[in-house]
Structure 1
Amino acid sequence: MALAAAGVAALGIGAALPARAQATEGAAAAPSELKQVVVTGTRRADRTLAESESPVDVISARDLQRTGTTELATALAQLLPSLNFPRPSLTDASDAVRPAQLRGLSPDQTLVLIDGKRRHTTAVVNINGTQGRGSAPVDLNAIPLAAIERIEVLRDGAAAQYGSDAIAGVINIVLKKGARGGLIGLEAGQTDAGDGGRGSASASVGLALGESGWARLALETRHQQRTNRAGVDTRDAATEPRLGQVNNRLGDPDSTQQSAVINAALDLGRETQAYAIGTFSHRDTTSAAFWRTLATATANNVATLYPQGFLPLEETTSTDLGLILGARGNLSDWRWDVSLNHGRNRFDIDVANTANYSLGAASPTRFDAGRLTNQQTLVNADLSREIDVGLFSPLTLSLGAELRRERYGIDAGETLSYQSGGASGFPGFQPSNAGSHSRRNVAIYAGAEAELARGFSASAALRGEHYSDFGNATSAKLSGRYVFTPAVALRGTVSTGFRAPSLAQQYFATTSTNLINGALIEAGTFPVESAAAAALGARPLKAEKSRNVSIGLLLQPTQNWQTTVDVYQIDIDDRVLLSANLSLPAALRAQLAAQGVLVSAGRYFTNALDTRTRGVDLVSTLQQDWGALGRGNYTLAYNHTKNSIRGVADDPALLTANGLALIDRVSIARATVGSPKDKLVLSADHRWGDWNGRLAATRYGSFTVRQSNAANDQTFGAAWVLDVSAGWERGPWNATVGVDNLSDRYPDRVIAANAVGGILTYSQFSPFGFNGRQYYAKVGYRW
């Protein structure tokens, strides 16, 4: 503890972790849960939740199932104040693969694990005006809830333990294990507005493999109908045949998904076990672009195809595969684990109900716009053992090595999808965009953990990495925990970290129709090393580097009442962002046109910002036995996060000469004030015999959306959302009915100047979406 505190003082920062991580930020931690062994953030085999030196939230399968959703990311957003999951719309592929943020940072600054193994990211790059713009995060919703035993969320920098991406924290999805037990579940729901109907069916079953093995299979299928909160389109109103009607879609898309997880292990004798994890997800999504008015169709000679105007539709398919094969065991007091981990995401894009204006009335109305793929293959070897070196407890020494290969690819669409402007709504990927790119990474790491004296534990970790494309990175972490009394404990960490720019950030390229300053404009996204990016002053990307400091206090005055206060600071240098939409003057447009690039705006990735994130988590949980009236769990959970700018990179001279800024006020706002600074969750769970009930009130703080014209900036006010449910459970049967957003709360409406002819009624930055009140019912059978 003294060493960790010295590190805190040296950096002049107060930061935080709870001295006791709660069982879930939204449900109370029972005393028995505090004794639960956790596997995230430690190499010890017997580390309990109460003993963890870093803040770990443990969210059980029951917690997930008791929310009003079947989407993992949505469930986590309801339970964790530190996690933000907005529901963007009219943002191309981001409608289908939505990004989640931890501690207000970029979605790709949180590492996701499956049973402690690194999960591959999606192939989709969020390039439109969403939170997480420029990121290619993991698709959390590809994992079915039926497969999950619990989720451990490490809210601390962990690059020294797990490598790149673990700047904001780690989400470790722990799967169900063993041959015993199973479940079948059905769920249905819809919004109060009558749309958004959804249904799902799931199952999980365990099977014995001979006398010494087991396998678990989880299956899920779900369907989500679209919601629509778009306003009446007033563009070209005087000449439009659909005057006074809602032409656009603004809300959740139509989506159908099938997913499966198989998890198996087999004892081989001599303290050796083979294991395997397979994951599969297939999601079809239909989302909309902006409505093309009749005036536009007439001007481009496709009015014979669409005499009332038309709504281009993006029909996408995300196919996600993962396979982990490994063996683990004990040999001469060493615990060892060797594994092969391969993951792949493919994202196919078709554009329907559209036209290529250059072809006039002869244009097809459907195009294959191409596909994106992302692959990751890892080989891991981990060793650990306990060594008696004369301390209060044995020293746990861990060593490891990792070899990783990544590949990112773009396949061009059919010729007519991109030729001469391409398909309206989403022009196809061009041959100049297409290609396959790869890199290799080698890492070695070591760690040590021990209880140095009674009540005082400490740990250290060191990791070195070499990337074939940008070089070396080193990170370190030091943690400590001191127990003053059974009711009071203090712990803290100091760490450095890094995040390598993803291959998607280095090589993603497309031309798409974007909403820029209230107008639809063809904008190009250029690879940083391309001739087009060079023409706009691009420089090679560097890795992000971070410094994390945290300190936390646990107060446990009684066995049934625990309170944690966590304070943290995260400094990130050379943060990788997608540049501003650079509205190009005639000279630059002509220069790009000479390369065959016909756009009015351009952007590329850049190491543009140095940022600082400061925050505090407060969690207080109480259990109360009411005798004959049952038992209740009560939680207050609060997160405050403030992001600020420490430095902005100088603009390239070429941009300055043309009056352009690489990072504009819109980009800075997205990184600092675009998500709520505050989130408060008050929840009460009560069980009485066969009956149970849950009441959760969540307050989302205000957020700000800036525009290029400061006069059109808008701050959206704080909002309370109330969720209620009632359940019954007897023997193997259980049933739940509930209402999310009981008061039918919507975010503030978008001001007229930003509504694009009345279409955009609500902001896609809203942390609780804009679907209003929703009803749901669930029924399940367990054995």
Structure 2
Amino acid sequence: MQQRFVPEKTALALAIATVFASGMAQAQDSGAATDGAAATVVVTGTRVANRSALDTASPVDIISAETLKTSGSTELNQALAVALPSLNFPRPAITDGTDTVRPATLRGMSPDQSLVLVNSKRRHAASLVNLNGSIGRGAAAVDMNSIPSAIVKNIEVLRDGAAAQYGSDAISGVVNIRLRTDRDGGEGTVSFGERKTEYDLLSAAAPAGAAWSAPSSRKRSDGQTKTVSAWKGLPWGESGYVTIAAEYKDQEHTERSGYDMRQLYARVNGAYDPRELTINRFDAWYGEPEMQQKTVFVNAGNDLGGGAKLYGWSGYQRRDAASAGYFRMPQDARNVQSIYPNGFLPIIAPTVEDFSAAAGVSWTEGDWDMDASLVYGQNRMDYQIENTLNASIGATSKTSFDAGGYSYNQLVYNLTGVRKFDVNGLASPLNLAVGTEVRREGYEMHAGEADSYRNGGRLLTNGTPAAAGAQVFPGFRPANNVSTARTAIGVFADLEANVTDAFLASAAVRGERYSDFGNSLAGKLSGRYDFGKNFALRGSVQNGFRAPSLQQQKFTSTSTNFIDGVPYEITTFRPTDPVALALGAKPLKAEKSTNFSLGAVMRFAPVSLTVDAYRINVRDRIVLSENLTSAAVRNYIVSQGFSGIGGGRFFINGVDTHTDGVDIVANLPWNAGNVGRFDFTLAGNYNRTEVTRTPTTAQLAALNPAPVLFDRVNVLTLEKGQPRNKVTASVNWKLAQLGLTARATRYGEVLSPGTTAAFDFELKPKTIVDLEARYALTPKLNLALGADNVFDQYSATLPPALNTTSNAPFSNYTPWGNSGRYIYARGTYSF
């Protein structure tokens, strides 16, 4: 039985949580929010106290707890996706572990090129690295859905590069989740929702003489989701607080398969088997996974006297999920018909455990406001593969396997000092922030049981070997085991001041040293000029970096493939593996970026409007190569002295991209007296990415034919796999006990790329409408009814040529998912 957490690290994290109880925001996070985002104090992107959202030198969005609540979903990623046009949260299916831990993207960049903070402290990443054909392939990102929405006070999203301020990953922006700091009150919420939907089908032609036919559409009621959550504020002494939140979520899977027109059974005396007419031909799970999720989070802080404050937070989540692979037909060579006479649908059932704990203290040292903190986080993912078999073992094969898994942990120490200096000639004191960050990261992989990966030696009737390993997900092998760690030490300085009453300027520089790949240096200059109360220009220029993750450097997996009856090991190689080095791989280095932004802030009471254009150039992006398994590759590997290796893939630097875009956000609050209060928001994002270089190696380029390291599918995924534009229009209305939220989100065109242009599939623009109505039954009890995707919009159904199995009738590039209309009811009780 694998231990869920490494003992000594667990002891350290639990000690933090026990001694300090859990968290308060930093000393700079002391400003109270007022009505309206424009006047809300922000702490992201600036270390100056009491800076409001519309007074910053870089664009910052503020998403309130109330806004998150009206999305119909308790997933933070989903709620942010409908609130922010620049953030996308595709919901791919049949993508192994990515079905369970889905990443979000900001400004069309990779999921790991955005930094996530909790109370302005770095959040740990998920242990999963996305390997399959979906947005974010090759990335290991933070799982924001591990934080319950009940504990969130608001979320600040800095839409600008900030590596010089916060370090690695902040190429496209920063998401800062600020936790509740209540010492009294509380709220309990119960919600239930269900998918009520109908979708069209495009099915292949039936085999000649077949008596079965496909319907043209299909109705479904599934995806039932029950969520119970609560938060409670408790006093801690005279001024302290302990805010506790808990959430339980039970979600059934959704199933949006096509109608399987294939011949599923062998013919009997030349005729179709009668079972062809009775078998269920909707034989796949395509859509949302099945999930049971339990989460608890606590945030606390207290004054120690003399201006010193103690803070910290801690959280734990366990997520048990189940999603499917592709259906194995009864006569499939990967099946053993004595076990599954009607074929089988293999299920990937990971268990994800996420734990975090933080403790810190802020105090005054002369003129300095000091802050020191220690933050620990760990994410672990273990795979159970169910309703499957190892065909190479035969009739005695098990049908459920422990396939192993991996974990990632991070320990971060921060020390920051902030003070103001009076400088002659400046219109405001000069704000100086200096500090250091020491980070230790660890990554581990552990093997599954032997039957999940071994070759049992069974031969098929034609004499060829049967497939080895658990179908859909062969287990990790002992050779894949790894336990590694690295350290990173960084120092930074940050200056900000009003040079004149109208001109705000800031500069930041940060240097970091990593024990595994070397040094990085980032700098940022930004400024803002207010021409008056109603108009300002702001802009920045900077360079940034993203360190290669341990997941990208150390992940490896192996499966046995038979090519012309000969077993070959097909491996995801570590970049430093001797076989990968022979193919031209090199140790990974940091991605580097240059960011430019220019924006305008306009205030014509009561309207506020911001327009921000940006350019992000990234060099040496880290990507996962194609599967290199051609005969030329195999022969070359043999010539280099390696036997039994059939090829594989590896992570490599070498993709350069150029991204241009613009964000527009307009807000209009309107008090209409007896008609009620309205809050209108219109926001849009336009984004275009171009791949200007792809990786090559001299060793592979010399082969005939030379394999492609990064093919057109992955190039077009970066360029056109996310909406070219996205526009959201929303209105919140409140009158006495009544409330209403209406939101329309238009997603621009998306390309679902194919291996050749003939297989490209364009997803036309669609508008998704969400509605929610609320009624305060009593001052404490509120009821809500709502529907996301009211008009039940889907992307276009893939033609049979792109969905030969019928298992996946829609593209995984659909930016709003493929499960249709979601109807829900919610009850909230305040206490």
TM-score range, shorter chain: over 0.9
Give the match's secondary structure for 1:362: coil
C-alpha change, 1:546 and 1:590, in structure 2 (3 Å) is: closer
Structure 2 unaligned residues grouped into runs of 5+: 1-32, 197-219, 267-272, 456-467, 562-567
Structure 1 unaligned residues grouped into runs of 5+: 1-28, 515-520
C-alpha change, 1:596 and 1:185, in structure 2 (3 Å) is: farther
Q: Does 1:400 align with 2:448?
A: no
Q: What CA distance in whole angstroms lies between the structure 2 residues aligned with 1:301 and 1:489?
A: 66
Superposed, which structure 2 residues align to 1:130-141 within 5 Å?
130-141=134-145
Q: Which amino acid aligns with 1:178?
A: D
Give the match's secondary structure for 2:150: helix
Superposed, which structure 2 residues align to 1:99-178 within 5 Å?
99-178=103-182
Q: What CA distance in whole angstroms lies between the structure 1 residues aligned with 2:286 and 2:34?
A: 42
C-alpha change, 1:425 and 1:82, in structure 2 (3 Å) is: same
Q: What CA distance in whole angstroms lies between the structure 2 residues aligned with 1:603 and 1:236?
A: 34
Cross-structure match for 2:830: 782
Q: Does 1:208 align with 2:235?
A: yes
Cross-structure match for 2:310: 274
Deviations 1:132-183 (A, max 9, x none): 0000100011000000000000000000000000001000000000312211
> How far has the Cα of 1:260 moved from its partner?
1.1
Q: What CA distance in whole angstroms lies between the structure 2 residues aligned with 1:217 and 1:342?
A: 19
Q: What CA distance in whole angstroms lies between the structure 1 residues aligned with 2:569 and 2:715?
A: 23
Cross-structure match for 1:384: 418
Cross-structure match for 2:742: 695
Cross-structure match for 2:450: 415
Of 599, 603, 609, the residue aligned with 2:649 is 603
Superposed, which structure 2 residues align to 1:474-513 within 5 Å?
474-511=521-558
Q: What CA distance in whole angstroms lies between the structure 2 residues aligned with 1:33 and 1:707?
A: 43
TM-score (norm 1): 0.92
Q: Does 1:311 align with 2:349?
A: no
Contact 1:589/1:598, CA 8 A, preserved across alignment: no
Q: Does 1:45 align with 2:49?
A: yes
TM-score (norm 2): 0.87
Q: What CA distance in whole angstroms lies between the structure 2 residues aligned with 1:363 and 1:674?
A: 40
Give the match's secondary structure for 1:70: coil
Q: Which amino acid aligns with 2:593?
A: S
Contact 2:264/2:329, CA 8 A, preserved across alignment: no
Give the match's secondary structure for 1:320: strand
C-alpha change, 1:175 and 1:301, in structure 2 (3 Å) is: closer
Contact 1:426/1:512, CA 8 A, preserved across alignment: no
Contact 1:261/1:280, CA 8 A, preserved across alignment: yes
Cross-structure match for 2:27: none
Q: What CA distance in whole angstroms lies between the structure 1 residues aligned with 2:144 and 2:559?
A: 26
Q: What CA distance in whole angstroms lies between the structure 2 residues aligned with 1:222 and 1:512?
A: 35
Contact 2:316/2:356, CA 8 A, preserved across alignment: yes
Superposed, which structure 2 residues align to 1:194-205 within 5 Å?
194-205=221-232
Cross-structure match for 1:739: 787
Contact 2:182/2:242, CA 8 A, preserved across alignment: yes
Give the match's secondary structure for 2:741: strand
Q: What CA distance in whole angstroms lies between the structure 2 residues aligned with 1:611 and 1:529?
A: 25
Cross-structure match for 2:493: 446
Say which is worse superposed, 151-160 or 262-271, in terms of deviation: 262-271
Give the match's secondary structure for 1:358: coil
Cross-structure match for 1:643: 689
Q: What CA distance in whole angstroms lies between the structure 1 residues aligned with 2:35 and 2:86?
A: 23
Deviations 1:646-678 (A, max 9, x none): 222334332541420111111101111111110
Q: Does 1:580 align with 2:629?
A: no
> How far has the Cα of 1:587 moved from its partner?
5.5
Of 334, 351, 354, the residue aligned with 2:368 is 334
Cross-structure match for 1:259: 295
Q: Does 1:226 align with 2:253?
A: yes
Q: What CA distance in whole angstroms lies between the structure 2 residues aligned with 1:589 and 1:201?
A: 58
Cross-structure match for 2:4: none
Q: Which amino acid aligns with 1:231?
A: G
Q: What CA distance in whole angstroms lies between the structure 2 residues aligned with 1:283 and 1:92?
A: 15
Q: What CA distance in whole angstroms lies between the structure 1 residues aligned with 2:161 and 2:734?
A: 37
Deviations 1:282-318 (A, max 9, x none): 100011111111112xx45721111111111111100
Cross-structure match for 1:426: 473
Contact 1:96/1:285, CA 8 A, preserved across alignment: yes
C-alpha change, 1:356 and 1:476, in structure 2 (3 Å) is: same
Q: What CA distance in whole angstroms lies between the structure 2 residues aligned with 1:247 and 1:511?
A: 28
Give the match's secondary structure for 2:790: coil
C-alpha change, 1:687 and 1:513, in structure 2 (3 Å) is: farther
Cross-structure match for 1:98: 102
Superposed, which structure 2 residues align to 1:3-22 within 5 Å?
none
Give the match's secondary structure for 2:254: coil
Q: Does 1:372 align with 2:402?
A: no
Q: What CA distance in whole angstroms lies between the structure 2 residues aligned with 1:289 and 1:590?
A: 33
Deviations 1:461-482 (A, max 9, x none): 0000000111000000111111
Q: What CA distance in whole angstroms lies between the structure 2 residues aligned with 1:587 and 1:688?
A: 69
Q: What CA distance in whole angstroms lies between the structure 1 residues aligned with 2:314 and 2:498?
A: 37
Residue identity (%): 42
> How many residues end up aligned between the 2 structures?
745
Cross-structure match for 1:79: 83
Q: Which amino acid aligns with 2:439?
A: R
C-alpha change, 1:301 and 1:172, in structure 2 (3 Å) is: closer
Give the match's secondary structure for 2:80: helix
Q: Does 1:631 align with 2:677?
A: yes
Contact 2:661/2:685, CA 8 A, preserved across alignment: yes
Give RMSD over aligned pairs.
Answer: 1.9
> How far has the Cα of 1:87 moved from its partner?
0.6
> How far has the Cα of 1:74 moved from its partner?
0.5
Say which is worse superposed, 256-265 or 726-735, in terms of deviation: 726-735
